[in-house]
Amino acid sequence: MSNGRILVIGGAGYVGSHFALHAMKCGLQITVMDNLSTGHRAAARDAEFVKADLADESALREQLSKMHFDGIFHFAASCLVGESVANPSLYYRNNVLSAYTLLEAMRATGHDRLVFSSTCAVYGEPMQVPIPEDHPTQPISPYGRSKLTIEWMLEDYERAYGIRSASLRYFNAAGCEPRDGLGEDHRPETHLIPAVARYALGLVDDLVIFGDDYPTSDGTCVRDYVHVTDLAEAHVKALACLEDVPLIRLNLGTGAGYSNLAVVEAVGRIAGTRLSPRRGPRRPGDPPKLVADASRAANLIGWKPSRSDLERIVSDVIEWFSRHPNGYED
């Protein structure tokens, strides 16, 4: 597959840009398509870049008619649980409708390989942890429902039209590649590790830990953090696997969980400062514990995360914000 040509939709966003970097290093020819609504032009680096919205059916068809892609990678989505509860319309349009538009454009232009960013939010409140792929899917947010709806569409499109796809259910994407100029720059920043790192570096005055009365060892939520370049590696492997397996669903996580306070402790230790965050109420929609059973990814595509220890993740994020206190504006 090296030398293959791929389309990376949402390749200027956080996960998409790290994937594009990794794919380039693997020798793939990249075209990035992004509407820059949340992504950053600089994050797409020197890849061929098309500024277009995925919902713009004619721009998409034009792109797919112009050249053939050996794989299409779809990262462009709205992805905040709280926002999805307040504004589900955005999630059904940006996620479900855009995926439909993409699938129809693929059908019309003879493209039949898709790797799709899904999420552990498709499971809802876990009944069993670590969570295997055959755990019941009962998402509790419009975000999780929108992603599960797309997974169902992919199943139907494979059966009826032969469009092969891999749905990769991310646990907590984290870390970055500061030495290649890639980091995290979400506005507003709602994710734990960048929020704690910014606090530790004095870039923000406040840090609140949402809830300390969960049924976990220290009362705070537990999450499975997986380095974004490990995620990227899984996408390349998933595309190769589509050759033999037409419909793939995989958890991408490490199987290890860290509590929010353990993350605060690690960031403080690595930044060389003692952190005392405020304690706040629970954030609606947060399950107590999300940890992946990722054995299927190991068995099916030979994926084993190698960059996902918490020290490495936190060090990358601290380095990024030390070099780029204003994110991609620096």
**Interface with ligand UDP by CB under 6 A: which residues?**
81, 172, 190-192, 195, 208-210, 221, 223, 260, 283, 286
Catalytic, out of 14, 91, 123, 143: 143
Q: How far is the CB of 262 from ligand UDP (least distance, A)?
A: 11
Closer residue to ligand UDP, CB minimum distance, 72 or 222: 222
Per-residue tokens: 320: 């990024």
Which residue number has the CB closest to ligand UDP? 221
CB of 65 to ligand UDP, least distance (A): 37
Q: How many other CB atoms are there within 10 angstroms of residue 23's CB atom?
A: 26
User: Is 91 in the active site?
Assistant: no
Which residue's CB is nearer to ligand UDP, number 6 or number 264?
Answer: 264
Nearer to ligand UDP, 113 or 223 (CB): 223
CB nearer to ligand UDP: give 262 or 300. 262
Residues 258/225, Cβ–Cβ less than 8 Å = yes
The least CB distance from residue 124 to ligand UDP, in Å, is: 13
* Nearest distance, CB of residue 151 and ligand UDP, angstroms: 18
Residues with a known catalytic role: 143
